[in-house]
A and B are shown apart, each in its own frame.
Chain A
């Protein structure tokens, strides 16, 4: 493994980043035809002459996709081009039915924007500006399944099976200018940038932004240069970076790999590399013997997009609150300490906590359920918190039941577990599992009497005024009542029973 440490790398080299993010828009229909875009449908059930590139079929632009792209451009502080065109990017690949991709080339719809991201540094929070070169529209490809061979990968496969449901789903590509000056924080800045983009896109409501489903994909370009040098080094382009954590790992890994080569007097090869989730390393993709010549030219089947100022201003007026500002606002409203706020952001629960609060839950309680029990269960299952089968509404209901004394914290945990395993709403789980707080003093007294007679020595200690001994008795009573009793009431009755009220 690496002989070089990350510290060795950053003491000698400055990383320069470039990030290309592809976002699948969440339109109902595809970019150029009326086929549905629902994820996970049976193969080739969402295809038509247009997205299968049957002879004679023609594309027509989805207006919602244009609006979404303009919204993205506005949210990223871009200028919106008064005139832009689609172009054909020509190359052959079986997952691309037309053997050209309709994209934008020299006339993208949005240009020259920026995003500010804040990260925690040794010197405290620091802001970095990521400049956006362009935002343009294009279409997704189909999916191939490689059959035969041992690995299930493309190499060594005997043949491939193609499903074109994804072909033609609108994609927006967001390309940064080169990002110098991040130094040792390059991996964190890149991660924060992708996270910020994701939050912005989610707030805009234009994409599902699920990295694990591929609706947000990041390609990371990395190069190194000697500190103080103005000359850019050779870059590698790492694809297949499918989580925020991977963005950070991939860039760190590439920085080390580049530095090792440079230190050994070797050249960095300009190439596409694939990130390996398991090892955190990248693997060389196709090394291009000849540079691909895409033969771009204006798409003759489509006419130019020329949004007028009125349309743009209408969209600008509807822009949602910027996620970074929203975070500050929520932190104040909820009086959350910095550390807890950071924990919520890290765990990606801010939205769902807010939703829970909007549904009436106390902010501190909502936060503690999402970050506590639900987060613990998610960790056990190895999935994201937001992927758990429990909604903000469910949690709000549980918080309310606890507040009313109808559930204890312990019972609430059982209800959460029941909801997550699919037993229904909290009310349904409570009803089918027969969960209830035991409020019947008679039943409690019976349990107390039973426990006191079984543990008479302890009971006597309490009778004699040694109150801390009551804890063991209360625990035993709670156990006896299967946790359904309100512990405070048990204590009250127990102390009365033992003459200490």
Chain B
């Protein structure tokens, strides 16, 4: 049962083949069995999950009209606030904090009857591409436990790949949904910026952050997308427009006559051979499905990484200032007449990890007087250029595509001491965040040289998210008929009953 898609689980719940309590319990059991190895979860809310499952079962028994995902379990990235449930963002500085409010995403999930199993591991404050930067230890890739599950949302992607949950929520600032999806053989979508409310999403970089759906199939992702998306008056940057019809697009999977633009600059040197091979193969399948493949150029994408590593740290240096030991979270050194200032200094030293401190200082520098124009100001101009590149390309094509990441999952510890090498993981995903458009990663097979999953990225214009779902569904169907079974069936068993 736990290997089914969320859509299948939903059908089983509707026709009475199972109950939400049984389904939830099955996933809780799976978590007990395998999470010791995977470490996808930071907190499992056994009681809350079963309580919500029971509520949904009761409502169903009363004949109430329920949404398509009512009763289906979900793993929530620990960067989204859930009332009374510990929220750490993978950081020591928030250890033990139980928020007194729900994020809008969580409210929408609760209202839709989705069962939240618990909070998943992540790079501290979503800063990283491997989940190694969690203060609570790394998450392991179910395909190979010695490898990273991607990041920052490695807990959510690993939970999906390990069948600990059929649905997950991630957040994507520079690729934190799509890159983990790529390296774990799952599907992840970063909706258009403003498509999903950021209220209650602990901010890393406000102008780039976006929460989105993660699952094992394109349709499941679309179903979850429609649950969490929509205008929210509590988020000033939320778009007040109807949610794109992503479920309909995922169901039809029709790409006939669509123009798919291959980004010239996001390929070639630096991309692993198996990654390129799977990408080419996917293009052929899409062409066979009736799409027209063209090449588009985005000359300024090569500056995206540099601009990102100025904008995101700048915003984070300000966003993370609130973690100061005064109102919540960790407090260190409050003794012997210590001053508030020294307690702040010590708490932030002890409470933040190395990468977080590195980015805070980098951002502090980029915003400081005398350097603002050269760094932060220039980065914002690059942002304009990248958006212009997208706009020009979208005049010629309906969606743009590239490999999601240059390589498959690397070994835990391999890049820990080389921040620049680590940052390169996001080279293909970052432009999407800079322009605020939509992006999806779905599995395109495994690389022959290492047998690890490869991701295929689809990018669609602002509030045209349905386009990437159409293309994603078409490619998924073509690949499935080629493989005969979902890609995850090729992953090694983790032990346990599944």
Nearest CB to that of A144 among chain B residues?
B340
Q: Does A422 sit within 8 A of B, measured CB to CB?
A: no
Q: Does A99 sit within 8 A of B, measured CB to CB?
A: yes
State the CA gap A295–B364 with chains docked (Å).
7
Q: Does B268 sit within 8 A of A, measured CB to CB?
A: no
Nearest CB to that of B343 among chain A residues?
A94
A92-B344, A94-B340 given; A99·B322 CB < 8 A: yes
CB-defined contacts of B368 to chain A, threshold 8 Å: 293, 295
Q: Does B321 sit within 8 A of A, measured CB to CB?
A: yes
State the CA gap A297–B315 with chains docked (Å).
9
Q: Which of A89-124 contact B (CB under 8 A)?
A: 90, 92, 94, 97-100
Q: Does B94 sit within 8 A of A, measured CB to CB?
A: yes
Nearest CB to that of B94 among chain A residues?
A55
A253 CB → nearest B CB, Å: 31
Q: Does B460 sit within 8 A of A, measured CB to CB?
A: no
A53-B327, A158-B337, A295-B318 given; A58·B89 CB < 8 A: no
Q: Does B202 sit within 8 A of A, measured CB to CB?
A: yes
Nearest CB to that of B344 among chain A residues?
A92
Query: Do A56 and B103 touch across chains, with their CB atoms under 8 A apart?
Result: yes
A92-B341, A297-B372 given; A55·B321 CB < 8 A: no
Query: Do A293 and B344 touch across chains, with their CB atoms under 8 A apart?
Result: no
Query: Do B199 and A162 touch across chains, with their CB atoms under 8 A apart?
Result: no
State the CA gap A53–B328 with chains docked (Å).
10
Query: Do B206 and A94 touch across chains, with their CB atoms under 8 A apart?
Result: no
State the CA gap A300–B203 with chains docked (Å).
11
Q: Which of B343-380 contact A (CB under 8 A)?
A: 344, 364, 367-369, 372, 376
B374 CB → nearest A CB, Å: 14
A447 CB → nearest B CB, Å: 72
Q: Does A59 sit within 8 A of B, measured CB to CB?
A: yes
CB-defined contacts of B324 to chain A, threshold 8 Å: 92, 94, 99
Q: Does A440 sit within 8 A of B, measured CB to CB?
A: no
A154 CB → nearest B CB, Å: 11
Q: Which of B194-237 contact A (CB under 8 A)?
A: 198-203, 205-207, 233-237
CB-defined contacts of B318 to chain A, threshold 8 Å: 88, 90, 100, 295, 297
Nearest CB to that of A99 among chain B residues?
B321
Query: Do A49 and B101 touch across chains, with their CB atoms under 8 A apart?
Result: yes
Would you give 28 A-B contacts (Cβ < 8 Å), ordered by A? A49-B100, A49-B101, A54-B81, A54-B99, A54-B101, A55-B94, A55-B322, A56-B81, A56-B103, A56-B199, A56-B203, A57-B199, A60-B236, A90-B367, A92-B321, A94-B340, A97-B327, A99-B321, A100-B318, A162-B326, A293-B368, A295-B367, A297-B318, A297-B367, A297-B376, A301-B237, A303-B236, A303-B237
Query: Do A301 and B321 touch across chains, with their CB atoms under 8 A apart?
Result: no
Q: Which of B459-489 contact A (CB under 8 A)?
A: none
Q: Does A495 sit within 8 A of B, measured CB to CB?
A: no
Nearest CB to that of A90 among chain B residues?
B318
Q: Does B425 sit within 8 A of A, measured CB to CB?
A: no
What mask results when residues 120 to 161 of chain B are scored 1 for a CB within 8 Å of chain A, else 0? Answer: 000000000000000000000000000000000000000000
Query: Do B236 and A301 touch across chains, with their CB atoms under 8 A apart?
Result: yes
Nearest CB to that of A50 among chain B residues?
B234
State the CA gap A17–B118 with chains docked (Å).
60
CB-defined contacts of A301 to chain B, threshold 8 Å: 203, 206, 236-237
State the CA gap A301–B89 with chains docked (Å).
20
**B interface residues, how many (CB within 8 angstroms):** 45
State the CA gap A401–B229 with chains docked (Å).
68
State the CA gap A55–B209 with chains docked (Å).
14
Of A56, A60, A94, which contacts B202 at CB under 8 A?
Answer: A56
Q: Does A281 sit within 8 A of B, measured CB to CB?
A: no
Query: Do A55 and B81 touch across chains, with their CB atoms under 8 A apart?
Result: yes
State the CA gap A302–B206 with chains docked (Å).
10
Q: Does A147 sit within 8 A of B, measured CB to CB?
A: no
**A interface residues, how many (CB within 8 angstroms):** 30
Q: Does A52 sit within 8 A of B, measured CB to CB?
A: yes
B189 CB → nearest A CB, Å: 21
A124 CB → nearest B CB, Å: 48
Residue positions of A touching B, CB distance < 8 A: 49, 52-61, 88, 90, 92, 94, 97-100, 158, 160, 162, 293, 295-297, 300-303
Q: Does B87 sit within 8 A of A, measured CB to CB?
A: yes
Nearest CB to that of B199 among chain A residues?
A58
CB-defined contacts of A162 to chain B, threshold 8 Å: 326
Q: Does B80 sit within 8 A of A, measured CB to CB?
A: yes
Q: Does B192 sit within 8 A of A, measured CB to CB?
A: no
B373 CB → nearest A CB, Å: 12
Interface of A is mostly: loop
Query: Do B340 and A59 touch across chains, with their CB atoms under 8 A apart?
Result: no
Q: Give the one of A58, A301, A303 with max B CB within 10 A.
A: A58
State the CA gap A368–B183 with chains docked (Å).
86
A285 CB → nearest B CB, Å: 16
Of B87, B198, B344, which contacts A58 at CB under 8 A?
Answer: B198
CB-defined contacts of A54 to chain B, threshold 8 Å: 81, 99-101, 327-328
A88-B318, A295-B318, A297-B314 given; A59·B376 CB < 8 A: no
Query: Do A98 and B236 touch across chains, with their CB atoms under 8 A apart?
Result: no
Query: Do A55 and B315 touch across chains, with their CB atoms under 8 A apart?
Result: no
B244 CB → nearest A CB, Å: 21
State the CA gap A298–B267 with chains docked (Å).
34
A94-B340, A99-B322 given; A56·B201 CB < 8 A: yes
B35 CB → nearest A CB, Å: 25
B62 CB → nearest A CB, Å: 34
B353 CB → nearest A CB, Å: 16
A94-B324, A100-B318, A158-B337 given; A58·B103 CB < 8 A: no
Query: Do B321 and A90 touch across chains, with their CB atoms under 8 A apart?
Result: yes
State the CA gap A94–B326 with chains docked (Å).
7
Query: Do B322 and A59 touch across chains, with their CB atoms under 8 A apart?
Result: no
CB-defined contacts of B203 to chain A, threshold 8 Å: 55-56, 301
B320 CB → nearest A CB, Å: 9
State the CA gap A318–B341 with chains docked (Å).
48
State the CA gap A60–B199 with chains docked (Å).
11
Query: Do A302 and B236 touch across chains, with their CB atoms under 8 A apart?
Result: yes
Query: Do B344 and A56 touch across chains, with their CB atoms under 8 A apart?
Result: no
Other contacts beyond A58-B234, A300-B206: 11, CB < 8 A: A55-B94, A55-B99, A56-B201, A60-B235, A60-B236, A90-B367, A97-B322, A99-B321, A295-B368, A297-B315, A302-B236
Nearest CB to that of B370 among chain A residues?
A293
CB-defined contacts of A57 to chain B, threshold 8 Å: 101, 199-200
State the CA gap A104–B80 with chains docked (Å).
29
Q: Give the one of B234, B341, B364, B376 with max A CB within 10 A.
A: B234
8 A-B pairs closest in CB distance = A99-B321, A295-B367, A300-B206, A300-B207, A56-B200, A55-B202, A56-B81, A53-B322
CB-defined contacts of A88 to chain B, threshold 8 Å: 318
CB-defined contacts of A53 to chain B, threshold 8 Å: 322, 327
Nearest CB to that of B233 among chain A residues?
A60
B429 CB → nearest A CB, Å: 20
B338 CB → nearest A CB, Å: 10
State the CA gap A162–B324 with chains docked (Å).
14
CB-defined contacts of A49 to chain B, threshold 8 Å: 99-101
Q: Which of B280-330 contact A (CB under 8 A)?
A: 314-315, 317-318, 321-324, 326-328
A100 CB → nearest B CB, Å: 5
Nearest CB to that of A100 among chain B residues?
B318
A245 CB → nearest B CB, Å: 34
Of B101, B205, B340, B369, which contacts A295 at CB under 8 A?
Answer: B369
CB-defined contacts of A293 to chain B, threshold 8 Å: 368-369
State the CA gap A36–B77 with chains docked (Å).
33
State the CA gap A97–B198 with chains docked (Å).
19
Query: Do B326 and A58 touch across chains, with their CB atoms under 8 A apart?
Result: no
Query: Do B236 and A61 touch across chains, with their CB atoms under 8 A apart?
Result: yes
CB-defined contacts of B321 to chain A, threshold 8 Å: 90, 92, 98-100
Nearest CB to that of B321 among chain A residues?
A99
B27 CB → nearest A CB, Å: 26
CB-defined contacts of A303 to chain B, threshold 8 Å: 236-237
